[in-house]
Amino acid sequence: MPATSAFTHRLTDQVAQFHLRFPIESDDLDQDEEWCEVRTEGERAWKRLRFHDYYEVYRVPGLYEALFYQCLKCCSPYRVVHLLDDVLRDDPHNVEDLRVLDLGAGNGMVGQELRNIGVPRIVGVDIIPEAMEATFRDRPGVYDDYVIADMTDLDEGNRERLRDADPNCLTTVAALGYGDVPTDAFVEAYNLIDTPGWLAFNIKENFLDDMEDHTGFAGLIRRLMRQRRIEVQAYRRYCHRLSIHGEPLFYVAMVARKLKGV
Ligand SMILES: C[S@@+](CC[C@H](N)C(=O)[O-])C[C@H]1O[C@@H](n2cnc3c(N)ncnc32)[C@H](O)[C@@H]1O
């Protein structure tokens, strides 16, 4: 059976120069298994794309934005960064004093939002070179530095480079769990930022639930709170994006003060 027979026109969308269509016989797909087919205006052939194959998505200018932001209504870079901005307004801290380490920076959408609220210094980190290449291509100048590294296995050179940026705030958006950033990479980045410092991140709501979490984040966040290593200043449940079936996928955005290292 050709892959295209599993599609319905109801779920076919055109965003900018892309035609996107989503499988309907895929009820049991978890978020990291979701896929679609894409055809660029003027092309005849559909190309299958697994959402988590970021290197393929980033290579095509505008595809990440069209698929996740316009079609599936992702709003997380805006929501997380504006929650941070909101908290800072109630605190004697100025956004102009932030030096951000953006973990899982991708093609720079979080960096762009951080610039929009006035953050003066931002360093991005991502594990795949395609993310940095897409950032330089589509959002040049958004990051002061961009490091390609696996945060689970950071070498001394890259650790020094990140330390030199002297970050006092960690952001990580749409990057925790699901085979992306694991707990040890989060802890590595957490320990690179100043104490006291700031954290602003989002995470799928199930990953904060001990009964459902298999990523370790539920335990880690609870431990950080119980040991007073972090003080949560904002917690907001919201729709991160729609699934390929149009269902809301709920995440939690959190802003916390880092009080001690791990
Ligand atoms: C869904 S994208 C989110 C990109 C961006 N933060 C945004 O909100 O648009 C997740 C990113 O995390 C990166 N990533 C996954 N594992 C990583 C790791 N161990 N260290 C650094 N980056 C990682 C991926 O390459 C990908 O670019």
Output the pTM of the full model. 0.93
Band (pLDDT 50/70/90 cuts) for residue 6 is very low
- Which residue type does 59 have? R
How far apart are the CA of 42 and the centre of ligand 1, in A?
31
Task: Report percent pLDDT > 70 for the chain.
Answer: 94
Boundaries of CATH 3.40.50.150 in the chain? 76-258
Write the residue with the smallest CA distance to atom 4 of ligand 1: 106
Would you state the CATH architecture of domain 76-258? 3-Layer(aba) Sandwich (3.40)
* Mutation probe of ligand 1 site: the residue of 32, 54, 130, 159 with most atoms within 8 A of C-beta: 54
What is the C-alpha separation between 216 and 229, in angstroms, rounded? 17
Cβ contact 169:100 at 8 Å? yes
pLDDT value of residue 12: 54
Band (pLDDT 50/70/90 cuts) for residue 2 is very low
Write the residue with the smallest CA distance to atom 15 of ligand 1: 180
Helix, strand, coil share (%) of the chain residues, nearest 5 = 35, 25, 35
Write the burial class of residue 11 (CB in 10 Å: 0-12 exposed, 13-18 middle, 19+ buried).
middle
What is the C-alpha separation between 94 and 76, in angstroms, rounded? 22
Among 256, 219, 249, 217, residue whose Cα is nearest residue 235: 256
How far apart are the CA of 86 and the centre of ligand 1, in A?
24
Torsion of CA 24, 26, 32, 33, to 10 degrees: -110
Cβ contact 259:195 at 8 Å? yes
Write the residue with the smallest CA distance to atom 11 of ligand 1: 104
Write the residue with the smallest CA distance to atom 12 of ligand 1: 104
Q: In terms of pLDDT, which residue wins out, 168 or 245? A: 168
Band (pLDDT 50/70/90 cuts) for residue 225 is very high
